[in-house]
Structure formats: C-alpha cells, structure tokens
Amino acid sequence: MKKQKLHIVKIGGNIINDEALLTSFLKDFSAIKSPKILVHGGGKKASEVASIIGLKPKMINGRRITDEANLDIVTMVYAGLLNKKITAQLQKNNCNAMGLSGADANCILAHKRIVKDIDYGFAGDIDAVNSETINLFLQNNITPVFCAITHDKNGQLLNTNSDTIASEVAVAMSGLYETELNYVFELKGVLESIKDKNSVIKHINLEKYKQLIKEGIISEGMLPKLQNCFNALEKGVQKVKIGDVSLIKNKNELYTTLSI
C-alpha cells in the first residue's frame, strides 16, 4: 500500500522578519493539500527582544549561547510571540494549525548538550520524536507548527536548532508517510557563488557535497543545514529541497534538490 505524502517545511528568520513575505508564504503553505508540518526558527527576533531589555545575545561561530536569561527570551519569542502569530495567520488561511513546542504532548525529547570545547548552555540535542502523537494531529486534519524549543522530560526547556528539528521530525515521520523535507529561506538554493543569487546548484548528491566543502563553496551557515539534509536522506526521508518561498508553489523555479 502506497504511503500518503507528507510535506515538512522549515522557514528561516529572514522570512519571519519580513511581514509581506511571511504572509505570502503562509498563504502558499496553507494551500498544500496533503498533510503538512511547519517548523520555524526566529533567532533574529529573539536577539532584537533581548537587546530591547538590555540583554546582549551571546553568539559563538554563529550559534547562540543559551544561558538561563536567554532561554527565557527565546522561549517567549519562539514558543509565544512568533509561534502564535504564525498559527493565527494559518487559521486565517483556513489551515487548522496548532502551535507546539517539543514539550507539548511530549512531541520532541532532547538532552542538554554535553560540554566539549564550548558550553552552549541550555542548548538541546534531540533524542526522540513522538511520531505517534504527531500522527494523531495529522490524522485529525491538524497542522503542527513547531518552534525551536524542546524539553528533557525533567521539566527543563531547551533551545534546539530548528533545522535539526525539521530533519529529525522528517526522519521520524518517514516510517508512516512518504516524506518530503523543504528548507525555505532567503536564497533560491545552494549557490555556486554568493555574489550571484541565480547561481543555484540544482542537484547535490553526497559526493558533490563533499567536493563543494573541499572547494569552500559550502561553508559557515550552509554546512549544518546540509548536514541535516543528508542526515534526513540517509535515514529514510524520500526527498529534500532547499530554496526560497517559491519552492512550495510547485512552479518551475530555481531550487536545489539533494540526494544520496
């Protein structure tokens, strides 16, 4: 019996911060007929709110150090302000969405990242995704909207990379659905040259990926994103795409497809 298709879409901070772009994206996302899950970040907004109250965000190599005070901020912004604004917009578009953190219905279990070279504070690394509970939502025509907050089952909330959440949720759901994972951000895909916004590499397999790293074409923020892509593909996700908001319209636009 053929599995039903499931779309898992992760949106980045630059889209969330652009009201017109976000509104347009959420309208297109709502129009996806098959079951779907949305995952969002919001680091830029969290940094803005932290600065307003005089709390300086701490970053190392582009990654947030989440001490107790910053954990309060990211929880308020991710699980509260942004999550509920997005959920309300989806309801406006007749998409029956439910805003969730990993703690809600025990959906995403994580542990505090073990300190090696850098102490990231209350950063979470994922241990398990509760696919049965998430499937209950989907089977009842509810679209889960996950923010970047998980929990450790001992009462501790954790700040968890939203790209990783999307990848791990996609892997967990691939046992039940034919799963497609889309990373939607401000660029049209993985670029050959950051100076040329149209220099999209249309297809990347594992061999090409390693070659692009050696050549320095894939570096910095794209590295963990693509690591999550290949993690998903290696663990059962059928299809992974990276692109801008046009990606989910199913038009013949530029984007990057990944395979192993």
Q: Where are the domains of the chain?
A: 5-258
Residue 121 CB contacts under 8 Å (≥ 6 apart), including other chains: 65, 66, 67, 68, 70, 71, 159
Backbone angles phi, psi at 89, to 5 degrees: -65, -40
pLDDT given for residue 224 in this prediction: 84
Could you tell me the two tokens for 39?
């995952």
Residue 145 CB contacts under 8 Å (≥ 6 apart), including other chains: 37, 38, 39, 40, 83, 86, 87, 90, 97, 98, 99, 100
Q: Does domain 5-258 have CATH number 3.40.1160.10?
A: yes
Per residue, the 3-state secondary structure of 15-58, as one string, reads HHCCHHHHHHHHHHHHCCCCCEEEEECCHHHHHHHHHHCCCCCE
Q: For residue 44, which amino acid is it? A: K
Contact 260, 201 (CB under 8 A): no
Query: pLDDT tens string for the chain (260 positions)?
Result: 789 999 999 998 789 999 999 999 999 999 999 999 999 999 888 889 988 998 887 777 667 789 999 999 999 999 999 999 999 999 999 999 999 999 999 999 999 999 988 899 999 999 999 999 999 999 999 999 999 999 999 999 999 999 999 999 999 999 999 999 999 999 999 999 888 999 999 999 999 999 999 988 887 778 888 999 999 999 999 999 999 999 988 666 789 999 98
| Strands 178-184 vs 143-146: parallel, antiparallel or unpaired | unpaired
Beta bridge partners of 64: 59
Q: For the whole model, what pTM was predicted?
A: 0.95
